[in-house]
């Protein structure tokens, strides 16, 4: 769809939401009125706003079409079920899967937990080894650590300086005890794209299940579970302009992936995931996937132009900045940049007009330097002063220019106050200085 | 939508307008509650307000409220947190409790013919085996609406060193729920039964018991449930809780009374399940005539009325209600059990319409001479 105009969309979206809010307002609720004056949003890897078209698709399922999709005896239930199945087909189509292979979950965290623990638990009598990567999302690493406590062996593959894994190391790590290999498609902090098709081929040749956490990849880059030989694939709703609280797991049927459920109960979702399906959320995820399938190509082109404008704009005016992660093999909406000679906290305070993240949102309240950047070999100081700049569907050229202006101002001001910067300008190699104890 | 009258509120309830508004506002706003910037802080504030409201409603501490993807996950989380404890559950629990119970080889507490759990049997089960236990007992049954003596059961269980989990999914918003009075360790609730959207629920801790997380990852919900929080769902839950009106329950109770009396007048032989026990004011589970529930429900649906046979979660499979069976009724009676569950949007006119439809569907059959039925049916 080439006629998509983000500016008009945002306006339409706000107008639409206000109308909706009006329509449904029966009580005093000040959620909209209480909005703070907001900074420019550049944190699209933390979460994305719901696309207005997604919201539109969802709303009837909160109101007149509210049935339980598992109610088999009346049309409220049938309508809900039909909507859920249509959404399932949309999700499948986006990744080249069959709709029967899609399981709805509460989000990518649950999908990842289910895939890794579910497969490991099912195979525990025959296989006890798992391979993953040091830069995976916390929920993958924590699932693996939990399995280690249960007696599984886990190999955490390192990454090269560009953030990608070395395929030879993967090949060497696989043994006949390996139950599953889990490698994320796109990293949430640095946006790099792992060689998924190559990993899939290696795993298939060795008869090992391949799971990929594609929360940041789905709808951003083309994915095909058959061409890429993926057995399990995690999807998030709120990273692709769908709602929070919904995700999906692709589970291959041929050859069939066997795994244990995490949440037992009514036996919904082929017995892999019990619980009443949240119809509006399923519909929202389906619509988000349908939009992504149509617009992914054009959107990627547009974001790449914006992203390059942002990086080139910063680089033209600021020396000593470093791009973290491979410059080419990354999604168009992500930049991760370290600014030498500034203090991380100060930088964040200095750009209050921008909503950005330093490190992954899940851990952003902590002051630990990002473990992802550390795995790339980024020095601690530079890891501390990194910003993740995420662009997305509603980002505009004005947003980018505004961001360049504020970041350049803040970094310049901080460097002017920094004795390290002064020394560096005078040609002193800071690393060679032996600091005296105070 | 062809069906005009919705009487299946225990399957799912329509989302309240206040909740729709809150969901729409949260969807429009965005923001990840874990982000430190203004979007994130606003999202977190919305989330914590909802948490506070829920905590206030049941008398819990806010930090003891864990948001989940729904009642099923909360039940599985509570049961999975029992550690080495053995498991005791009632025979009429929801599948999300019965399924892990079956896997764990749990002991089952009997219920009386009125659908009330047998406390003497609970005591017996606790005394029979000295190992510490987790007892799981629902507050109100989804099929019959029968309210269980949870406070008494909790007292007995605690006296025997057991922990107690209570699935209050059907009870919240339909009767007062007070954690201090119930004195349970885990309490499950679900949003979509009380006018919040589907996809949100919570596990509330009565005291500082350890939780064994199902989902590991970003450390959300104090490390007890990872995953970006379902903010629109949480906002909707908060708004739905704020909109609850005790007055509505009384009106719903009046409609149920009229419905029940009407059925008895049409057919004095009607079986009202749990009639002698305290029940949720909105639920009526009955068997009348000879039609199976499946057939009767189809006929009602054609007449524009949505009701249910047993619980929606298992309604994909046609099988007699395990709840009615556990109450000691034979399979033929269990297969005829129909659940009507009302809500505040129903009207007395709709109750009359139900009774009229029921009379048309069943009345002719009940009054028909025996040989008429035999003539149309092939000899068995």
Q: Is A333 helix (H, G, I), strand (E, B) or coil?
A: coil
* Alpha carbons A132 and A139: distance in angstroms, whole number: 12
* Alpha carbons B180 and A291: distance in angstroms, whole number: 49
Beta bridge partners of A232: A211, A251
**Residues 6 or more apart in contact with residue A430 via CB below 8 angstroms:** A420, A423, A424
* Closest Cβ–Cβ partner in A26, A39, A280 for B38: A39
Q: Do residues B232 and B164 share a domain?
A: yes
Helix (H) or strand (E) holding A22: helix A6-24
Asked if A58's CB is within 8 angstroms of B315's CB, the reply is: no
Q: Above 50 in pLDDT, residue B142?
A: yes
φ, ψ dihedrals at A322, nearest 5°? -130, 135
**Residues 6 or more apart in contact with residue A89 via CB below 8 angstroms:** A99, A286
Q: Do residues B137 and B201 share a domain?
A: yes
Asked if B312's CB is within 8 angstroms of A70's CB, the reply is: yes
pLDDT given for residue A365 in this prediction:
53
User: Are A404 and A313 within 8 A, CB to CB?
Assistant: yes
> Å from B167 to nearest chain A CA?
13
- The catalytic residues of B are 313
* A153–chain B Cβ distance below 8 A for any pair: no
* Alpha carbons A287 and A298: distance in angstroms, whole number: 18
> Is position B260 within any domain?
yes
If phi > 0 it is left, if psi is from -120 to 50 it is alpha, else beta; for residue A12 that is alpha
pLDDT given for residue B50 in this prediction:
97
Instruction: Give the CATH number of the domain where residue B153 resides.
Output: 3.40.640.10
> Is position B370 within any domain?
no
Q: Where are the domains of chain A?
A: 61-291
User: Are B41 and A365 within 8 A, CB to CB?
Assistant: no
Q: Do residues B223 and B290 share a domain?
A: no
Q: Do residues B79 and B191 share a domain?
A: yes
pLDDT digits (tens, 9 = 90+) for B30-80: 889 988 888 999 999 999 999 999 999 999 999 999 999 999 999 999 999
Percent of chain B topping pLDDT 70: 92
Q: Do residues B270 and B284 share a domain?
A: yes
What is the maximum span of chain B, computed from C-alpha positions, in angstroms? Answer: 77
Contacts of A20 in chain B (CB under 8 A): 24, 28
> Is position B144 within any domain?
yes
Number of H helices, E strands in chain A: 13, 12
Helix (H) or strand (E) holding A106: none
* Alpha carbons A105 and A114: distance in angstroms, whole number: 9
* B275–chain A Cβ distance below 8 A for any pair: no
Helix (H) or strand (E) holding A268: none
User: Are A263 and A117 within 8 A, CB to CB?
Assistant: no
Q: How many CB atoms lie within 10 A of CB A185?
A: 25
What is the maximum span of chain A, computed from C-alpha positions, in angstroms? Answer: 80
**ipTM beyond cut 0.95:** no
The parts of chain A modelled with pLDDT lower than 50 are 1-36, 360-364
pLDDT digits (tens, 9 = 90+) for B15-25: 999 999 999 99
Residue of A276, A281, A344 to mutate when probing chain B, most B C-beta within 10 A:
A276
The lowest-confidence range among A149-153, B219-223, B228-232 is B219-223
Q: Do residues B219 and B88 share a domain?
A: yes
Q: Do residues B224 and B239 share a domain?
A: yes
pLDDT given for residue B369 in this prediction:
41
* B217–chain A Cβ distance below 8 A for any pair: yes
Helix (H) or strand (E) holding B164: strand B163-167
Contacts of B192 in chain A (CB under 8 A): 68, 276, 278
> Å from A381 to nearest chain B CA?
21
Contacts of A277 in chain B (CB under 8 A): 198
Concatenated DSSP letters for B83-117? TT-EEEEETT--HHHHHHHHHTT-EEE-B-TTS-B
Instruction: Give the CATH number of the domain where residue B278 resides.
Output: 3.90.1150.10
* Alpha carbons B159 and B181: distance in angstroms, whole number: 16
Contacts of A105 in chain B (CB under 8 A): 69
Which of these, B97, B303, B252, lies nearest to A73 by C-alpha position? B303
CA distances from B102 to A179, B99, B191, B227 (A): 27, 5, 26, 28
Comparison of pLDDT for A33 and B267, the residue scoring more: B267
Concatenated DSSP letters for A159-178? --TTSPPPHHHHHHH--TTE
pLDDT given for residue B112 in this prediction:
96
List for chain A the helix, strand, coil content (%; round to 5).
Answer: 45, 15, 40
Q: How confident is the model at residue B310 (pLDDT cuts 50, 70, 90)?
A: low
Say if residue B316 is exposed, middle or buried (CB neighbours under 10 Å; 0-12, 13-18, 19+): middle
Domain hosting residue B323, numbered range: 5-13+245-364
Asked if A74's CB is within 8 angstroms of B8's CB, the reply is: yes
Say if residue B159 is exposed, middle or buried (CB neighbours under 10 Å; 0-12, 13-18, 19+): exposed
CATH 3.40.640.10 given to domain A61-291: yes
Q: Count structural domains, chain B.
A: 2
Q: How confident is the model at residue B1 (pLDDT cuts 50, 70, 90)?
A: very low
Q: Do residues B231 and B253 share a domain?
A: no
Q: Do residues B237 and B254 share a domain?
A: no
* Alpha carbons B335 and B339: distance in angstroms, whole number: 12
Q: Do residues B56 and B102 share a domain?
A: yes
Which of these, A192, A190, A225, lies nearest to A210 by C-alpha position? A225
Q: What angle do CA B13, A271, B330 make, to 5 degrees?
A: 70
User: Are A247 and A285 within 8 A, CB to CB?
Assistant: yes
Closest residue in chain B to residue A365, using alpha carbons only = B36
> Is position B334 within any domain?
yes
Q: Do residues B290 and B143 share a domain?
A: no
Cα B18 to the chain's mean position, in Å?
22
Closest residue in chain A to residue B41, using alpha carbons only = A36
The beta strands (E) that lie in A66-123 are given as 102-105
Beta bridge partners of B286: B272, B338
Residue of B17, B25, B302 to mutate when probing chain A, most A C-beta within 10 A:
B25
Contacts of B46 in chain A (CB under 8 A): 31
Residues 143-202 of B with CB under 8 A from A: 190, 192, 197-200
Q: Do residues B117 and B171 share a domain?
A: yes
Residue that has been written with the tokens 């509210």 in this structure: A66
> Is position B138 within any domain?
yes
- Give pTM, 2 decimals: 0.81
Comparison of pLDDT for B212 and B371, the residue scoring more: B212
């Amino acid at each position: 769809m080439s006629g998509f105009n983000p500016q008009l969309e945002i306006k339409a979206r706000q107008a639409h939401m206000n109308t909706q809010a009006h329509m449904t307002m029966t009580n005093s609720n000040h959620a909209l009125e209480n909005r703070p004056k907001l900074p420019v949003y550049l944190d699209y890897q933390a979460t994305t706003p719901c696309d207005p078209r997604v919201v539109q698709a969802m709303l009837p399922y909160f109101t007149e079409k509210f049935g339980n999709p598992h109610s088999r005896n009346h049309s409220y239930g049938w309508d809900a079920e039909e909507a859920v199945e249509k959404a399932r087909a949309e999700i499948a189509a986006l990744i080249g899967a069959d709709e029967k292979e899609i399981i709805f979950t509460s989000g990518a965290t649950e999908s990842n937990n289910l895939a890794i623990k579910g497969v490991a638990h099912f195979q525990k009598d025959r296989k006890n080894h798992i391979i993953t990567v040091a830069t995976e999302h916390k929920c993958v690493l924590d699932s693996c650590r939990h399995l280690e406590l249960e007696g599984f062996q886990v190999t955490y593959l390192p990454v090269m300086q560009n953030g990608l894994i070395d395929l030879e190391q993967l090949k060497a790590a696989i043994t006949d005890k390996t139950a599953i290999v889990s490698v994320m498609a796109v990293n949430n902090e640095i946006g790099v794209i792992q060689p998924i098709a190559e990993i899939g081929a290696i795993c298939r040749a060795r008869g090992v299940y391949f799971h990929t956490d594609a929360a940041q990849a789905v709808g951003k880059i083309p994915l095909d579970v058959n061409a890429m030989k993926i057995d399990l694939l995690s999807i998030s709703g709120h990273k692709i302009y769908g709602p929070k609280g919904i995700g999906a797991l692709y589970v291959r049927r041929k050859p069939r992936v066997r795994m244990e459920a995490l949440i037992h109960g009514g036996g919904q979702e082929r017995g892999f995931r019990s619980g009443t399906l949240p119809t509006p959320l399923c519909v929202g995820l389906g619509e988000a996937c349908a939009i992504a399938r149509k617009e992914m190509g054009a959107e990627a082109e547009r974001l790449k132009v914006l992203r390059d404008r942002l990086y080139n704009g910063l680089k033209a005016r600021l020396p000593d900045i470093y791009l973290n992660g491979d410059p080419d093999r990354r999604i168009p909406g992500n930049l991760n940049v370290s600014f030498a000679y500034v203090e991380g906290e100060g930088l964040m305070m200095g750009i209050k007009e921008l909503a950005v993240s330093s490190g992954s949102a899940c851990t952003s309240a902590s002051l630990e330097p990002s473990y992802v950047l550390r795995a790339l070999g980024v020095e601690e100081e530079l890891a501390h002063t990194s910003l993740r700049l995420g662009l997305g569907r509603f980002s505009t050229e004005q947003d980018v220019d505004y961001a360049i202006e504020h970041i350049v101002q803040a970094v310049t001001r901080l460097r002017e106050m920094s004795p390290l910067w002064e020394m560096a300008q005078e040609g002193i190699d800071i690393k060679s200085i032996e600091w005296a104890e105070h | 939508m062809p069906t005009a009258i919705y009487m299946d509120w225990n399957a799912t309830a329509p989302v309240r307008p206040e909740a729709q508004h809150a969901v729409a506002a949260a969807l429009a706003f965005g923001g990840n509650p874990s982000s430190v910037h203004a979007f994130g802080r606003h999202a977190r504030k919305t989330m914590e307000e909802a948490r506070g409201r829920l905590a206030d409603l049941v008398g819990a501490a806010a930090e003891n409220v864990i948001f989940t993807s729904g009642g099923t996950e909360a039940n599985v989380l509570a049961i999975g947190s029992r550690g080495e404890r053995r498991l005791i559950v009632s025979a009429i629990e929801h599948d999300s409790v019965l399924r892990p119970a079956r896997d764990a080889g749990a002991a089952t507490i009997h219920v009386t013919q009125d659908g009330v759990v047998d406390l003497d049997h609970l005591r017996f089960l606790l005394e029979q085996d000295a190992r510490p236990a987790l007892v799981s007992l629902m507050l109100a049954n989804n099929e019959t609406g029968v309210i269980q003596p949870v406070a008494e059961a909790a007292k007995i269980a605690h006296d025997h060193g057991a922990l107690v989990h209570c699935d209050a999914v059907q009870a919240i918003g339909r009767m007062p729920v007070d954690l201090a009075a119930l004195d349970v360790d885990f309490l499950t609730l679900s949003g979509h039964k009380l006018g919040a959207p589907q996809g949100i629920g919570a596990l509330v801790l009565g005291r500082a018991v350890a939780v064994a997380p199902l989902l590991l990852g970003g450390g959300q919900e104090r490390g007890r449930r990872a995953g970006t929080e379902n903010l629109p769902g949480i906002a909707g839950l908060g708004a739905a809780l704020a909109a609850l009106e005790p007055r509505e329950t009384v009106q719903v109770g009046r409609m149920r009374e009229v419905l029940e009396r009407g059925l008895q007048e049409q057919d004095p032989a009607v079986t009202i399940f749990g009639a002698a026990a305290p029940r949720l004011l909105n639920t009526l589970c009955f068997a009348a005539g000879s039609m199976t529930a499946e057939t009767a429900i189809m006929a009602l649906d054609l007449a524009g009325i949505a009701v249910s046979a047993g619980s929606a979660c298992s309604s994909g499979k046609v099988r007699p209600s395990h709840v009615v069976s556990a109450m000691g009724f034979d399979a033929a009676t269990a297969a005829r059990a129909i659940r009507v569950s009302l809500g505040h949007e129903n009207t007395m006119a709709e109750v009359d319409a139900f009774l009229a439809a029921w009379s048309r569907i069943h009345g002719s059959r009940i009054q028909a001479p025996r040989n008429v039925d035999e003539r149309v049916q092939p000899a068995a």
